[in-house]
Structure 1
């Protein structure tokens, strides 16, 4: 991000913060103020990932969609929805609220859900951007209808029940991004890409075998790194993290490095890293491991650089808000005399 774009971002955020502080927002595209209070319940079931993925693909193509980033991004933003609850108890209520939003408000809300994570992990947010860049476009009616159809399909099949639990182990039971992306590509160009993600049962078996060296002691210890050079959406690491949790260990104590050639799959891995809570030393690099031998090191260095940039922006933002607030107070005092 250039200095000019950073300054523009800061100015925009300052205006939005102060506007919402005053509670006089009239933006019809703002999900925080345009959401209807009439939120009829949505029929929700926690479907298997394969069923959810097929439902999303069917809804998208039935609506006339052709792109892959939009439907995958809708599911990703819902999976990232920041409001979590024990046992996903609030999932159905949140689903009803989201389902009641008009299409353009829905898009804005999905964008806000994804953008929430920029402050937490700017590197993963940046890698996941291919799934969310469409939220900044002026979408035509076909795409808007498709966004709504996909959101309803995902909500009805329990995307928030899968990912709305405060317990990361519960959120890690299924790799929804893998099911969604492979289902979409099954209708599109999956065979031409040669992309086949490891089935979850096989991934679970491999993780179990690798964790058992036959001595009764785990061969890997906290603090060690795990590398997956063909990560897809991270299914192998999901299985490994769940295996650690079953043994009473915290996956966040390990280092996780996922490398993936396809930008959409890498974006899915970045989303999953956040949903599964793999920890501060979990990174995703997008590139060709054969042509870029330093891809792993570059991914980590890039993450650290983006974190420093985020810190700089947040400091500038805090200063700008404080300055603007002071100006408003002085103007009010002057006007009252």
Structure 2
């Protein structure tokens, strides 16, 4: 059995590592003849980012995933997103643009394309970045989304790499207090939220105590931001929505209402499932065969 003996490889710089992964994903996706479906490519990277790499004394998780067939990869993605739905129902409507394709019985060609992306990301050692604490230091999903949307790697570098140090500097100037709120009306995939959370950690403050608000006009960016909130440990109060904040001044209230509605529906579904289980259990108990010998005794 192969052991994973080098978790960080040749990538001491998380931002550079993120760029390498994104470029590998972009090349693999463009070769798949599905380049218009950037939601699928981003979905694969996002799902992999939700996996924690195992320690060095266990079998290499990346190797196990690369050994899966296209059908098995699709099944693994469904399992990952199902876990998100079950554990964080408040994020379901936000992550939906990323995960909907894998629940819609995708055609074999699309599954093969998704596997090609997964293999490319894993070959670029994504789990060494997102499966370790290095995931707090960069925004891989932001780099991937920008590169998938752009015409060249250089354009993606110009859009992503320069703001990251600036976001870190700004966050350190005014790090959030615990139990406060942070709002970014042009949140994108959450780079400023990540920087603020890191600034808090440097001061031994817990980012999970903060209420994080954000909006963006791009639904895929919001979906990636929701996944990033899990990757970066931002906690349970994530309020995001797709909105043009220049024309919708009250977007935060709408986002809060959407979140409350989703949680209410989720709770009702949970209760319905419990009721169905109870009814079925009662039916099984009442339909047990009767021992006639015990009755006559």
TM-score norm. by structure 1 comes to: 0.75
The equivalent position to 1:161 in structure 2, one of 96, 114, 128, is 128
- What CA distance in whole angstroms lies between the structure 1 residues aligned with 2:190 and 2:218? 12
Cα separation, partners in 2 of 1:90 and 1:298, compared to 1, 3 Å: farther
Q: CA deviation at 1:92?
A: 6.0
Q: How does 1:147-296 map to 2 (within 5 A)?
A: 147-165=114-132, 170-187=134-151, 196-197=159-160, 199-211=163-175, 220-296=176-252
SS at match of 2:174: helix
Aligned partner of 1:58 in structure 2 is 27
Cα separation, partners in 2 of 1:187 and 1:89, compared to 1, 3 Å: farther
Q: CA deviation at 1:63?
A: 2.1
Aligned partner of 2:60 in structure 1 is 93
- What CA distance in whole angstroms lies between the structure 2 residues aligned with 1:287 and 1:259? 6
1:146 aligns with 2:113: yes
1:122 aligns with 2:89: yes
Q: CA deviation at 1:204?
A: 1.2
SS at match of 2:87: coil
Gaps of 5+ in 2: 12-16, 293-297
2:177/2:205 contact within 8 Å kept: no
Q: CA deviation at 1:89?
A: 4.6
CA displacement 1:26-56 (0-9 Å, x = unmatched): xxxxxxxxxxxxx977997655101101111
SS at match of 1:258: strand
Q: RMSD of the alignment, in Å?
A: 2.8
Please list every run of at least 4 consecutive aligned residues from structure 1 whose deviation after the TM superposition is greater than 4 angstroms: 39-47, 88-92
Matched residue count:
280
SS at match of 2:92: helix
2:26/2:144 contact within 8 Å kept: yes
2:39/2:98 contact within 8 Å kept: yes
Cα separation, partners in 2 of 1:322 and 1:179, compared to 1, 3 Å: same
Q: CA deviation at 1:90?
A: 7.7
Gaps of 5+ in 1: 1-38, 212-219
Aligned partner of 2:39 in structure 1 is 69
Q: CA deviation at 1:75?
A: 0.7
Aligned partner of 2:101 in structure 1 is 134
2:40/2:114 contact within 8 Å kept: yes
- What CA distance in whole angstroms lies between the structure 2 residues aligned with 1:254 and 1:290? 25
Cα separation, partners in 2 of 1:85 and 1:325, compared to 1, 3 Å: farther
Q: CA deviation at 1:264?
A: 0.7
